[in-house]
Structure 1
Amino acid sequence: MVSVDNLASKLVLLNSTHINNDDINECRLLGQERDESYLFSWVQSNPSTNASKTCIGEYNYEENTLNFIYSFGEKIDCIQASVNPERTLLLYVIKEKRDDNDFVYKSYLYNISDNYQNAYLIKEETKRQTYVQFLNSKPPSTEKFLLLIHQEGIYQYLIKRNSPNENVTLSSLTSEVLVKNFFWAQWDPLEQTLYHIHNKSRNRGFVDGEERTTEANNKSTPTLTGLQFNDDHPHESVLNIPLNLPHLNTSDTSATYEDDVIPLRVHDSSLDLIVVTSSNGCVCICHHYLYQPIQPSENYKDENDTTPINFAYSVTALHQSCVIHCVVNDIPWNRAKNIRPLFKLRGDYLVVFIPEICTHLLDIGLMHEPYCHITTGPLISDKESNLLYLAPIISTDDYIINLTNLDLIDMSVLETLAVETFKSNTTLENKLSILHHFIIHLEDTQTASELISWHSSKPFSMDYPELLKEFLVATSFASMQKNLPSEANKITTLLPITTQRLGLDLEIKSDNYVINMSQEVLWNASMMVLSPQLRIVPYKTDIWLKLWDHLSKFCKIGIRFKPSQVLDKLRISLECYQPEALSRCTTPSSPTGGAASTFADFLNNARSQTDSLPFYEIDSCTASRQEHIISVNLRELSMHLLKQTSNSSKKFRQTDQSNMHVHAAATRYVSSQLDQSRQLCEIVCKAATYDPEEDDDKGFILINNLGEERRYVLFKLLEKYYMAVEALAFPLPQGFTSFFAYLGYRTMDFDMFMQYVVNHVFELQVDVMKIILAEHDESKDGINKKLRLLSVLPRQRAKRLLNQWSHPISVILRAREHSQNILSGITGLPTRSKTQNPSCSKGLGSYHGGKNVSPLDTFLDLLTAKASLTEIDFGLLIEASELANDFD
C-alpha cells in the first residue's frame, strides 16, 4: 500500500491557523459532494478548560482550503452531512445512544448564515438508519433534498424561498414520498442517481383466461431500481433489475448498521451491496456475501468461531450483459465476518480488493468482451489489515481513501503488483491476463517485452509458448488499432484480441486459499434500462444513454476472427505448396502484380532490414513461405470481415459503411502480424544473449561460432517461438526458416534432426541444403545421409541439388527419373548431360534381328518407342549405365 497523503493532518494544519491552543482530533469524513469537495467533522478541545466541541467544515483537496461551516458547542456524534450547491444550507445527521443501549438518528437543517443558531429537526428521531442529501436542482429558489430512512421510506423535500438569501424554516418545507419500504439504497452524487432495492411481486400467470395463483407466483423478487434526478425536470425511473440475493432477511427488526457515507448507502449489515458506475456507461452491481457449505456448528457465529465458510461476491456488469462470480473457500468465520471488500472502477478494470486474501482486476471495460481477469496478492500486508476501511472517492481513478485514518492511497501500485504476480508461481491464465493488461489497456509493450524476456529463462515450461502467442495476438491488435481510421473502429470488434476463451472458469490457488471464478451471460439486459425515446428528456446525454447505446451495439457484434481459420486452410494448401515452381510474377508481393501492387507496397515496407536479428532477412526461393501465409491470412480475414459486417447490416436493416474499410483493416492487421512476429523474434533472440552490438557475425557463420551451450539455448527458445507462430498461422521473418533449420542441424544429432524435417518443423531451403550437403564426405555413411535429406525435399528443389552434386549417385538418380518420366508419359525437353557418349548412336544402329543385343540397346530402343529422339537424353542414360557398372 502506498499512502500519498493524509487528510486528517491537513485538516489539523489548516485549523491551526485560526485557533489558539486548541487540539484537533477525531477527524471524521461526513460525505463528498458532486464537485468533489469533502465534508469533515472534528473535535476541537481546549486543554485549559477540558471543553470539547464538534465542528463541521468543507475541505477542497485540489485547492487545499478549509471552509468552517458549523459548531455544535459540545461533543456530538455527527455521522453524515450534505451542503447545497450555493453553500447556504447544511444538512446533517447525528446518532445518539439511549439508556437502553439503542441508538437513534436525528436529521437537521441549518442556515449557514445563522451563526450556529436555528438548526431545525426535519423529522422525528428514529432507530432506523437515516441519511440526508441535497440535490443539484435549479432554480435556487426551489431547492430539493432527500431524506432516507431505512425500511421506512425515501422522502423528497422542496425548499421554497422568495430569494436565495432568505432563511429557511420548517414551514418552508414540503415533502413527498418517493419510495416506501426499501431495505437498501445508495446515492451517486456524480450522476445524481438514487439506487434502491425493494421487494417486487411477481406477475401472476393466466391459463385459458383464468388467473392462476400459485405459491411461486405469490413470492416477491428483490429488484434494484435507479431513479435519475434531473436539474430542470422531475426524476424518472431509468433502471429495474431483478436480483438474486441468497439468504437475505429483509424482515429483521434488530438491524445493525455500519454507517457508510462514501458512497452514501442506507442498509443494515446483512446486505453488503454497492453500485459502481463510470460516466462512459459502465454500470456494475457488486454484491458481497458469506455462506457455509456444510452444516453449521453449535457455536456458529460466535466471536471466536473458526468454522470454515465461503467468502463470495458477484459482479453484474450490466454494460457487458454478464455476471461474474467469485468464491474464496474455507475462510474461518471469525476472520471472514470482518473482511470488507473494496470495489473501485479504474480505467477498463473493476478493482476488487479483499484484505488479507487477494486483489482482483476484472476486465469489464467497454473496449472488448470481459476476457482477461487478473488475480494478484493483497495490496497491503496482514499487519495493516486491522487499520483498513477502504472506500472509493470521487476523484481520479488512482485514489481511494482509508476511512480509519483518512489516508489517501495510490492504486497505481497495482502495475508493480501485477509484474510481481507474473513472476510468481501463478496460473497460466493469470499470466496471459497480465500480458493483455499491459499491451492492450496500458499500451506498455516495453513492460510486456520484459516479462517475455524474464520468462525466457524457463523455455521448457508449458506456459512459455502460450505467452508468446498472447504477445503476438495482443500486440498485433494494438498496433493495427493505432493506424486504423476512426471510421473503421467498429471492425476492431471482429479481430482477435486475446488467446483466452470468453467465460472461462478459473481456479487460482493462492498461498492459503483456493479462489474460483466463473462467468455467465445476462440475457435481455437492454430490457432493464429505460430506452432513450421514453425519457423525460429524450436522448439526454448521460450515463444511461451511453449504457443503452452500448447494449444496442452489443447485440450487433459479429464473431471475432480466429487464427484457426487460417490454420485449417494452410494445412491443405501447404501440402501442395512448391515455391520453386512459382515465378515471381505470380506471388502476392510482385511489384508488377497489377491489383496486388498495393499489398506488395505494404509488404515491402514491412520488410525493412533490421540488425537486431541474428540472420539476414532473405529467402532464397522465388516465392517464399512467408508470402504464401500472408496472402492466405489476408484472404481469409477479408472474407470474414466482409461477411460479418454484411450480416450485421442485413440483420438490423441498416446501411453499414464499415465494410468499405474491410480491406484497409485486413491489410493493416496482416502487416501488424509480420511486424510483431519480427519484434517477438528479436525479444527471444535477445533473451538468448544475442547482442547485435557485440556479435559481429550473422546467419550460418554465427551458428558455427557459437558455443555448444549458447547454441542449445538459442535453439530451444527459437523452437518455442516457432511453435507459437505456427499455431497462430502468423508469418515468420524472412530468413528465419533456413537459420532455424541449420541451427537445429548443428544442435542435435542427425537422426533427431531428420525427425524434425519429416514432421515439417524444419524446412530445408536451397541455401541451407548446400551447406549441409557440403559438410558430408563421399563415404558410404555420408552418401546415405545426403540421400535421406534429398528424399524428403520437394521434387524441384531436389532436382536442383542433384544437378549440382558431382557424384555417380547423382547421375544415376537423374537418369532413373528421366527414364521414369518417359515411360510414364511425362516427356519434355531433355537436360543434356555434360559428357555425351558416342556409343549411344552405335547402340541404336546395332539392332538386327538375327544378332544378340545388349540390355542398354534394348532399353534405349524401348524408350524410342515412347518418345521422340529429341526428348531422350542418351548421353545421361549411357553415362549412368557406365557409372553404375563402375560404382558397383
Structure 2
Amino acid sequence: MLELNALFDIQNDVVPWLLECRLTPLNENGESTSLSETELQVINVEKNGSVLYTWKGKKGTTCIGIYDPHNKQNKLLYIFDREVSLISCSVNMERTLLVARCLTLLIEIHPVNNTKVLKAVDSHVRVQFLYPASDMKPFPESHLLVVSEDSCIEHIHISVVVEEGYRVMVQNPDRLPKDIVAEDFLWAQWDTQGQRLFYIVEKERNAVLMCIQFYPDRNHEMLLSFPLGFSLTATRLRLVNFGYNHFQEEEESSESLNLQVFTNHTGTMSVCYSHPVQNEQEFTYSVIFLHHGWRKTFTVSLEASECARISEPTFINIGYYIAVYMPGYFLHLINAQHPNLACHSLFLSGKDAKVKPWNHHRYILSLSDSLLDCQLGKMYEADLDPLLLMLFMRGSKLDCHQFAALHCAVLYLQSNSETEMQIIHWLCGLSVSGSFDLILEFILGTLYRKAISETNTMDKLLPYSSLLNWDGEIPGVTYGTENISQPVFREKIRNLKGFWEELNRNVESMKNLESLHNPRYNNSSLRVIKTKLFSEMNVEDQRAIKHFRNILENAKKILSKVDTRCSEQQVVPLFQEEDCQQMVLIGLMVEKLKEHLLKYLHRVGKKMIDLIANNYVVNLLECIRQIVDKIWKKYGLNTHILCLSSREKVQSAEFVVFHMMSRVLEAAERLCLPLPPGYHTIHIILGVRCLPLHTLLHYIDHGVLHPTELFVTRLFKELDHSETSERFKFSIVTRIPESVGQKIYHLWDHPVSSSCIARNYVETLLRKLCTQQKSKDFFIREQTQFESEFLPLTYLARILTEMEDQALNPFEEQENVDAKFVEEVALKQTLILLGLENN
C-alpha cells in the first residue's frame, strides 16, 4: 500500500554526466568507465534538496559533486589529490564553503582551494551547515554544526569576504567563533526542513528530549524540554539525519536508541521509538504524540517470515500518517493527526504489509521528509498508492480495516474526483450490517477536509468522524494508551509563527478539552430545536415569526451559493422545489454553527465565521448531491424514471439506487443533517416504483419515506381513477402531514377530500364561534323534541345550522358545502370511531 516514488537516482541523474565530462577513471582506450556502487556514493542531502555525492576520479583522486533537483544539473565541487574515505560532508547555501570529514577539514572551494583543520580528532565526526530562509539574501556568515562522537555539538560561525570582486575567502580562519550547543547526549537528530536540533540527555534516570531552534537572522534558542518517561539503556551514540556514514555498522539496534522525531506544518510532533526485543514472537514500539499528550504502545505478534531474524523497524513520516515498517513482518500507518481511536490507523500484515520497491534485504535510511537507499544511491518520497489503498478497502472483511481505509482515502488523498467516485461505488455494494456508518463517515470526512484546507483553525472545532469511542480489537496487535504531561513552551513561543505556533495551539486545545466540553461541533443537538421550531411555524408570535424569517433568509443564501458553485451538468433534479422543512434545517444549522464557532474563534471576526459556517453547509449539500448524482450516473438512471404511471417498467438498478438513497437519508438523520430540497420527493418516487404497497406504507410509517407536497400533487395528476390507483392514493393521503393535506386536498375528487374540506369548514366556523362567544353576540338554541339524543352529533348540527348564514365559507370557490353535507360526514366519522360502521 505504501510506495516509494523516486526523487533521485545516482545511476540515472549523475553517471551520464560523469561519463560525458570524462570525470571517471579511463580504460586502456582512454574512454571513461562506469562506477560501481561502492565507488559512487551519496553522503548528504541539504535542506534545498541538493544531493552531495563522492566518487573515485582519475589517477587515484577523490571527487565531491552536487546535484540540484530543481534544474536537474550536476556540478563538481572539489577534488582531493588522493583517495580519502569521506564520512560526512556539507556545503553552505551559497556553495562557497565545503566541509568534509576525512580529518575534519574545512575547505574553501571557489575560486581557490584552501584547507583549514577545524578539529583533528580520530572519530566519526558529522558536519552540517545551517540553511537560512530560502527567500533571504545571501547571508554574510555561514553557520556550521560539528557533531563528534564524544557527545558534543559545536556551533561554528564562519564569516566570508569577497576579494578582487570574485574571490571568496574565510575571514580570520585561525579564530573562528564557536559555542557548544549540546553535550553529554546519546541520541541526536537534525531536522533538515525545520532547521531544528533534537537530542536526548538523561536526568534523574529519565530520558529528556531537548529541542534547539536555529534561526536565519540570529543564533539559536532552546524551545522544548520534555521528559519521555523511560530511562536510557543505550550505550552507543546514534545520529539521525546527519548524512550517511558508509563506514559505520548498519545493525546497531542492541547498542543504540532507535528513536525518531517527526514534525508536521499542522503542528503535530510525534516521537517514535522501538523497545528492546524480548523474544522472537512479538515486537513492541511506542509513539508519543506531544500535541495530544498521549503515549500509545503497540505490541505486534510476529508471524512466520522469510526474514532470518527480527530487524529494527523503520519509522517514516508521510505527513498525515507515521509508517512503522518491519520488512517481512508488518506495516502500520499510525494516524498522527487523530490518534485517539485505533480504528483510524491501518495495521497491515502478510502480503498487504509491503512497500514497493523495498525488500527486506535493503538498508534504507529515513530522513526528515524522504528516504535514502544507501546501497543503490536512490532517494525516495514515501506516499500512499491510491490504487492499492482502494483495493485493500474493497477486499477487507474487517470493519476496522474498512473504516481506517475509508478515513485514509477521504482525508489523506485529498480532493480526487476519481477516488471519490471509487469510494461511492464501493459504498453502494456494502451491506448495512457493519459496526460503522461508512456513508456518514464519508460525508463528515469530506466536509472536514474541505474546511481545514481553507483554514487550519477549524481542525479542533469540526467533526471528522461520528465515533466518540471504539474499543474493538485489531488482529495481531494489542495496544494501550497512557496520558503524559504535555510540554510547556517558553512564553516567547507565543510570538512565533509557523510550526511552533501551530504546535502550541494544539497543546492549548488539548488542555481546554480537559477543562471544558468537547469543542467539536455536534449537529445532533438540533433535533430538539428543529422539532420545536417546526411546531412554531404557524404560531403568530412576533418573535417566533422574526426568528423563522431569519432562518429562512440563511437558507436562501446557502441555496444561492449552491447554485453558483454548480458547474457540472447534474443528472438528479435536486434543488428544484421548495422544501420548507429542509430550508428550516439548513438555516438552523448555519445559525447554530455560527454560535458554536463564536465561542472559540474570538480573534477571527464575525465576517470570517459567517463565511466558514456558510461554506460548511454549502459543502454539505454539495457532498450529498454529489453522492446521489454519481450513484445515478453509475447505474445509468435519468429523470425519465421519475414517472409514477409506469411502475411495471422498474429496472434492477433502481432498487440499488433507492436503497443507497435510503442509507444516505439514514446517515443524514442520524446527525440531523439537512438534505438538498427535492431529495425526499425523488426518494419516495423511487420507493413507489420499487416497493410493493405494504412495504412502501411501512417505510412511510417508520419515517424512511416522506410524502412531500410535490409528490402527492404528482400522485393525483399522473395516476388514473382506477380502483387500484384510488386505493393507493387513499393509503398515501391518510399518511400525509396535515400542513401538506390542506394544500392539495382540493385536487382529489374523492370522499376523503370532501371529508377534509368539511373538517376545515367546521374548524373555521368554530373559530368564528369562539370569537362571537367572547363578544357575547352568539347563542345556541334549545333542543327540539324531534332531534336525535346523540349529543355530540346533535350539538354539532345545531351549531352548524345557526352559523351557516353568519360565517363566510372559505371553500365556496372549490366545493359547494352545506350544513347537511357536513352533518352526514360528521355522523359517518362518529360511527367509524365508535366501531359501528359496517365494512
Q: TM-score range by the shorter chain?
A: 0.7 to 0.9
What is the letter of the counterpart of residue 626 of structure 1?
Answer: Q
Contact 2:189 2:239 in 1 (8 A): no
Percent of paired sites with the same residue: 17
Please point out which of 563, 567, 570 is paired with 1:612: 570
Deviates more, 1:721-730 or 1:461-470: 461-470
1:840 is aligned to: none
Q: Which residue of 1 is the match for residue 486 of structure 2? A: 524
- Counterparts of 1:506 and 1:625, CA distance in 2: 38
Letter in 2 for 1:492: M
1:498 counterpart = 2:460: no
- 2:632 maps to which residue? 685
Partner in structure 2 of residue 125 of structure 1 = 122
Provide, for residues 142-175 of structure 1, a one-character-per-residue CA deviation record: whole Å limited to 9, x for no partner: 8764443335433455679999967899965787
Q: Distance in 1 between matches of 2:478 and 2:372?
A: 28
**Shift of the alpha carbon at 1:714?**
2.5
Rounded to whole Å, the distance in 2 between the matches of 1:735 and 1:277 is 46
Q: Hey, what does 2:152 align to over in structure 1?
A: 153
2:594 — aligned with what?
Answer: 638
Q: Distance in 2 between matches of 1:113 and 1:805?
A: 95
Give the 5 Å matches for 1:514-593: 514-515=476-477, 523-525=485-487, 527=488, 529-532=489-492, 544=500, 547-548=503-504, 551=507, 559-570=519-530, 576=535
Give, in whole Å, the separation in 2 of the partners of 1:435 and 1:704. 36
In structure 2, give the amino acid aligned to 1:630: I
Tell me which residue corresponds to 2:327.
Answer: 355
Amino acid at match of 2:87: I
Correspondence for 2:423: 452
> Of 678, 684, 699, which residue of structure 1 is paired with 2:642?
699
Tell me the TM-score normalized by structure 2: 0.75
Q: How many angstroms apart in 2 are the aligned matches of 1:494 and 1:257?
A: 36
Q: Which moved more, 1:500-509 or 1:736-745?
A: 500-509
In structure 2, relative to structure 1, the CA distance for the partners of 1:14 and 1:259 (3 Å cut) is farther
State how far apart, in whole Å, the 2-side matches of 1:175 and 1:643 are.
50
Give the letter for the 1:200 counterpart. K
User: Can you list the C-alpha shifts for 1:624-682, whole angstroms capped at 9, x where unaligned?
Assistant: 3212322332333233233444xxx5xxxxxx352454444433433333333222221
1:386 matched residue in structure 2: 361
Measure, in 1, the Cα distance between the counterparts of 2:457 and 2:759: 56
Q: 1:541 to 1:604 in 2, by over 3 A?
A: closer
Unpaired segments of 5 or more residues in structure 1? 47-51, 95-105, 202-219, 297-306, 650-655, 831-843
Taking only aligned residues, the RMSD between alpha carbons, in angstroms, comes to 5.2
Q: 1:644 to 1:283 in 2, by over 3 A?
A: closer
Structure 1 counterpart of 2:809: none
C-alpha distance in structure 2 between counterparts of 1:391 and 1:545, whole Å: 26
Q: Number of residue pairs matched?
A: 773
CA distance in 2, matches of 1:159, 1:817: 94
What's the offset of the Cα at 1:760? 1.4
Aligned equivalent of 1:289: 275
Name the CA distance, whole Å, in 2 between partners of 1:392 and 1:446: 32
SS of the residue corresponding to residue 729 of structure 1 reads coil
**Structure 2 equivalent of residue 214 of structure 1:** none
Change (3 A) 1:501 1:176: same
Does residue 1:418 correspond to 2:381, yes or no?
A: no
Distance 2:308 2:755 in 1: 85
- Select between 808-817 and 758-767 the one with higher mean Cα deviation: 808-817
The 5 A counterparts of 1:225-624 are: 225-230=210-215, 233-245=218-230, 248-250=232-234, 252=235, 255=236, 261-262=242-243, 269=253, 270-277=256-263, 283-292=269-278, 296=279, 307-316=280-289, 318-319=290-291, 321-323=293-295, 325-330=297-302, 337-346=310-319, 348-357=320-329, 362=334, 364=336, 373=345, 377-378=352-353, 380-381=355-356, 384-392=359-367, 400-412=371-383, 414-425=385-396, 428=399, 431=402, 443-462=414-433, 466-477=437-448, 489=455, 492-493=458-459, 496-501=462-467, 508-509=474-475, 514-515=476-477, 523-525=485-487, 527=488, 529-532=489-492, 544=500, 547-548=503-504, 551=507, 559-570=519-530, 576=535, 597=553, 599-604=555-560, 606=562, 612-615=570-573, 617-619=575-577, 624=580
Tell me the distance in 1 between the aligned counterparts of 2:499 and 2:754. 80
Q: How big is the shift at 1:562?
A: 0.9
| Cα separation, 2, equivalents of 1:141 and 1:782 | 90
- How far did 1:234 drift? 4.7
Query: Are the structure 2 counterparts of residues 107 and 813 from structure 1 closer, same or farther at C-alpha, using a change threshold of 3 Å?
Result: closer
Matched, 1:30 2:29: no
Q: Equivalent residues in 2 for 1:744-763 (5 A)? A: 744-763=687-706
Match of 2:222, SS? strand
Aligned residues of 1:329 and 1:515 also touching (Cα < 8 A): yes
Cα deviation digits, residues 584-634 of structure 1 (max 9, x gap): x998999xx5896465354356468997344575558xx632123223323
After superposition, where does 1:731-746 map in structure 2 within 5 Å?
731-746=674-689
Structural mapping, 1:669-680, within 5 Å: 669-680=616-627
TM-score (norm 1): 0.71
Kept in 2, the 8 Å contact 1:276–1:344? The answer is yes
Check conservation: 2:189, 2:240, Cα contact below 8 A.
Answer: no
Change (3 A) 1:90 1:738: closer
Q: CA deviation at 1:196?
A: 1.6
Contact residue 776 and residue 786 of structure 1 kept, 8 A: no
Segments of structure 2 that go 5 or more residues without pairing to the other structure are 28-32, 771-779, 806-817
- Do structure 1's residue 60 and structure 2's residue 55 form an aligned pair? no
Q: SS of 2:529's equivalent?
A: helix
The answer on whether the counterparts of 1:468 and 1:724 sit within 8 Å (CA) in structure 2 is: yes
2:775: which partner in 1?
Answer: none
Distance 1:549 1:518 in 2: 26
Q: What aligned pairs does 1:12-91 form with structure 2 within 5 A after superposition? A: 12-16=15-19, 17-19=21-23, 20-21=26-27, 23-25=34-36, 26=38, 27-44=40-57, 54-62=62-70, 63-71=72-80, 73-74=82-83, 76-83=84-91, 90-91=98-99
**Secondary structure, in 3 states, of the residue corresponding to 2:259?**
strand
Secondary structure of residue in 2 paired with 1:285: strand
CA contact (8 A) 1:342 1:391 kept: yes
Quickly say closer, same or farther: Cα 1:370–1:237, change in 2 above 3 A. farther
Deviation at 1:133, TM superposition (A): 3.5
Match of 2:811 in 1: none
Rounded to whole Å, the distance in 2 between the matches of 1:634 and 1:383 is 49
Distance in 1 of aligned mates of 2:275 and 2:450? 42
1:745 Cα deviation after fit: 3.2
Separation in structure 2 between the aligned mates of residue 450 and residue 278 of structure 1, nearest angstrom = 29
Structure 1 residues 532 and 498: CA distance shift in structure 2, 3 A: same
C-alpha deviation, 1:240, in angstroms: 1.0
CA contact under 8 A between 1:588 and 1:631: conserved in structure 2?
Answer: no
Distance 1:116 1:867 in 2: 116
Provide, for residues 759-796 of structure 1, a one-character-per-residue CA deviation record: whole Å limited to 9, x for no partner.
Answer: 111222355446768969887x9988766544433345
- Cα distance, 1:197 vs. partner? 0.9
Q: Secondary structure at the match of 1:287?
A: strand
Cα distance in 2 for residues equivalent to 1:817 and 1:573:
24
Alignment check: 8 A CA contact 1:506 1:518 kept: no
Correspondence for 2:585: 629
CA positional deviation for 1:198: 0.9
Match of 1:839 in 2: none
Offset at residue 582 of structure 1 (A): 10
Following the alignment from structure 2 to structure 1, what is the Cα–Cα distance between the partners of residues 507 and 329? Answer: 34
Which residue, 204, 223, 243 being the options, matches 2:208?
A: 223
**Alpha-carbon distance in structure 2 between the residues aligned to 1:516 and 1:816:** 67
Cα distance in 2 for partners of 1:601, 1:15 equals 64
Amino acid paired to 2:122: E
